[in-house]
Structure 1
Amino acid sequence: MSLTPDQQAEIETLRSTSVPTLRAVSEGMEAHLYKAYPVLDHGFVRVIDYMGDDAAICQAARVSYGKGTKSVQNDEGLIRYLMRHWHSTPFEMCEIKLHVKLPVFVARQWIRHRTANVNEYSARYSILDREFYIPQPEQLAAQSVINNQGRGEPLSAEASARVLEILKGDAARCYDHYEEMIGKEGEPDNLARELARMNLPANIYTQWYWKVDLHNLLHFLRLRADAHAQYEIRVYADEICKVVADWVPAAYSAFEDYRMGGATLSSKALDVVKRMLKGEDVTQESSGMSKGEWREFRTLLD
C-alpha cells in the first residue's frame, strides 16, 4: 500500500483528534474512520465520513410507512422485512464517503455505478505517480471458453513470466515517455499534462473520493463482491464489505441473507422447482428454458 507522507500525516492527525457530536454515531464505523486498508499492490480503501446507522434506517421506515410497521417487533426484524421486500428508500438514509486508490481499468469498471458522487485525482493538473498494478502470477489466466468476460484456466509458469515481463516493461516505458513529454516546468516545448496522460497505460493508479448511499452501495457490493466479478474489483468490494458489516450490522446481515446468499428465480425456474418437489424428473428440454438458463438454474441448485 502506498500512502504519501502527507496522507499518512493527515490520517494520524484525524485519528488523534475527536470532537463532541449530537449526531448518531456507529461505534463499529468509528473504529474504521480514516484508516487505510491495503488492496492489491499499491491500492487502498479508507473511510472519510459517514452518516446514519441501523437506527436511521428504521427511523426513516417508520416515518414513511407509519402504522404499517407496527407488527414488526424490533429494529432488526424491521430491517430484514425491508430487505426481504426490496424496499430501498430507508437504506438511502445512510451514506458513506470513501477515499479509494485503484488502477484506472478498475476505476472505469467501478464508475459504471452511476449512483454515487465522485471526485477523481486530475492528471490535467497533477502528475500521476509511477505506480502500476502488476498481478500476482496466480491471477494470470487464459480467456474463459464459456464466459466472454471472464477468466479460464491459469497460465503456465512460462507464459505467466512472459506476461509479467511485458506488463512491467510496457508500464515503465510508457511512464518514461510520459515524463519525457512533460519535461521540467518552464522548459520550452513541454507537452501539456492533459495531453501527455493519454500515453499512460490502464494499470496506472488513480485516486478518488466516492460518496454513496447505503442502498446503492449494497447494490454495488452484490455485483462486485460476487464470486463471478473480476478479481481486481472484487478485492475492493470485499474490503468494503468488512467496513459495512461493522457500520450497519443488522442491515448487512439481512443483505447477506437475502441478496448475497439468496437467489431470484424466473417464473419458469419457479415452475420447475414446484414440479421437482412433486417428484417429476425435469430436463432442460421439458423445462422451457434455454441451455444457458438451465445451466445457471442447475448451478443454483447444485
Structure 2
Amino acid sequence: MPLSPDQQAEIDTQRATPSQTLRAVAPGMEAHLYTAHEVLDHGFVRVVDYMGDDAAICQAARVSYGRGTKSVSNDEGLIRYLMRHWHSTPFEMCEVKLHVKLPVFVARQWIRHRTANVNEYSGRYSILDREFYIPAPEQLAAQSVVNNQGRGDALQGEEAARVLEILKADSNRAYDHYEQMIGTDGQDGLARELARMNLPANIYTQWYWKVDLHNLFHFLRLRADSHAQYEIRVYADAICNIVKDWVPAAYGAFEDYRLGGAILSGPALSVLRRMLKGERVEQEDSGMSKREWREFMEMVDN
C-alpha cells in the first residue's frame, strides 16, 4: 500500500490542525497539502510544504513590495514574457518540498537532476519494506529497434506472463535472503548497510525532494515528455497536476513554451524557412544527420 498506517495517521493529524499564517498562500496548493497522490502500484507524491505563488514570481521580477503591482492579466503577461525569454531567476523564488515514494531504479534516474535538496530513506539505519514495482502487463515491452534507450512493442501472451513471473519470483527471493541475512535468531546477523546490496532495483524507497520552480520546470520538461521512461513520466505527470494548481499562470506559460513548444537548431530553422517558401527539402541537402532529420520531421508533421 502506498502510505503506511503511521504515515496516514500523521497526515490526518496535520490536516486536522491547520495553522493561521501571514505568508502568501496559493489556494490550489493548499488543497494538495497532506494529500498523497498514488503513482504506479505502491508509490505516491505528496506536498509537504511550499513557498510562493504566481504573484511572488512577478514581485521578484519587479522587485516590488506586496502581491504584484498591477492586475492579474498584467501579471500573467509578465510571467509569459519571462518564460518566453528564458528569464529564470524570478521562478527560483518559488519552492516546493515533496515526499515521494518510488522504485530505486526510478530514483536513480531522478537524482540525475542535481538542482534539488534530497534526503532519502536510509537502508543503513532502517529495514526496507517488502514492496516492489511490478509493471502492469501493458508496460512490458521489447527493446526498441530505433532507440537504444527506449521500448518497442508490448510483449504478448505467454512471454509477458513469463516475464512477470520472473520479476515477482526474483523480487521475493531476494527479499527472503535479505531477511535471512539481517536476522538475529541464532546468528549475529549481517549489517543492514551490507544486506541491502542484495535487493533488486525495483524495491521502493522514499525521499523528501525540495526544489525551486525554475529547476522543477526543467525536470518536468524532460520527464513529462512522451519520450521519457514511463515509470518516471507518471511521477512527472502527477507533479504537473500539482504545479498547475499551485502557479496556474506560470504553469500555463511553461505548458505553451516548454512542454508544447520546440527548440530548433540553426540548420532546422533554415530548412523550415525553405519549406515555408515552397521548396522541397530532403535529408541529404538539409545539413542534418539522419536522426536529426527524423526528429525534425516528427516535430513538424505533428
State TM-score, norm by structure 2.
0.96
Partner Cα separation in structure 2 for residue 157 and residue 111 of structure 1: 35
Matched residue of 2:264: which SS?
coil
Matched residue of 2:47: which SS?
strand
How far off is 1:73 after superposition?
6.9
Partner Cα separation in structure 2 for residue 184 and residue 238 of structure 1: 43
How far off is 1:34 after superposition?
1.0
Partner Cα separation in structure 1 for residue 173 and residue 286 of structure 2: 55
How far off is 1:2 after superposition?
2.2
State yes or no: 1:13 paired with 2:24: no
Q: Deviations over 1:226-253 (max 9, x none)?
A: 0000000000000000000000000000
2:3 corresponds to which letter in structure 1? L
Matched residue of 2:125: which SS?
coil
Q: Deviations over 1:189-212 (max 9, x none)?
A: 210000000000000000000000
Residue 229 (structure 2) aligns with: 230
5+ residue gaps, structure 2, are: none
State yes or no: 1:286 paired with 2:290: no
How far off is 1:129 after superposition?
0.4
How far off is 1:7 after superposition?
0.3
**Superposed counterparts of 1:149-168, under 5 Å:** 149-168=149-168
Residue 98 (structure 1) aligns with: 98
How far off is 1:157 after superposition?
1.2
Residue 190 (structure 2) aligns with: 191
How far off is 1:172 after superposition?
0.5
Residue 180 (structure 2) aligns with: 180
How far off is 1:20 after superposition?
1.1
Partner Cα separation in structure 1 for residue 27 and residue 91 of structure 2: 18
**Superposed counterparts of 1:105-124, under 5 Å:** 105-124=105-124
Q: Deviations over 1:246-299 (max 9, x none)?
A: 000000000000000000001111111111111111111111111111101100
State yes or no: 1:170 paired with 2:170: yes
Matched residue of 1:74: which SS?
helix
Residue 41 (structure 1) aligns with: 41
Matched residue of 1:80: which SS?
helix
5+ residue gaps, structure 1, are: none
2:173 corresponds to which letter in structure 1? R
Structure 1 stretches of at least 4 aligned residues deviating more than 4 Å after TM superposition: none
How far off is 1:188 after superposition?
3.4
Partner Cα separation in structure 1 for residue 13 and residue 213 of structure 2: 28
Q: Deviations over 1:107-139 (max 9, x none)?
A: 000000000000000000000000000000100
Residue 52 (structure 1) aligns with: 52
Matched residue of 2:63: which SS?
helix
Partner Cα separation in structure 2 for residue 169 and residue 138 of structure 1: 19
**Superposed counterparts of 1:250-261, under 5 Å:** 250-261=249-260
1:61 corresponds to which letter in structure 2? A
Partner Cα separation in structure 2 for residue 111 and residue 73 of structure 1: 37
How far off is 1:184 after superposition?
3.1
Matched residue of 2:159: which SS?
helix
Residue 127 (structure 2) aligns with: 127
Q: Deviations over 1:157-201 (max 9, x none)?
A: 11110000000000010000000000037x532100000000000
1:255 corresponds to which letter in structure 2? F
Matched residue of 2:83: which SS?
helix
Taking structure 1 as reference, are residues 73 and 3 closer, same or farther at Cα in structure 2, changes over 3 Å only? closer
Matched residue of 2:38: which SS?
strand
State yes or no: 1:84 paired with 2:46: no
Q: Percent identity?
A: 81
Partner Cα separation in structure 1 for residue 73 and residue 136 of structure 2: 49
1:252 corresponds to which letter in structure 2? Y
Partner Cα separation in structure 2 for residue 277 and residue 90 of structure 1: 36
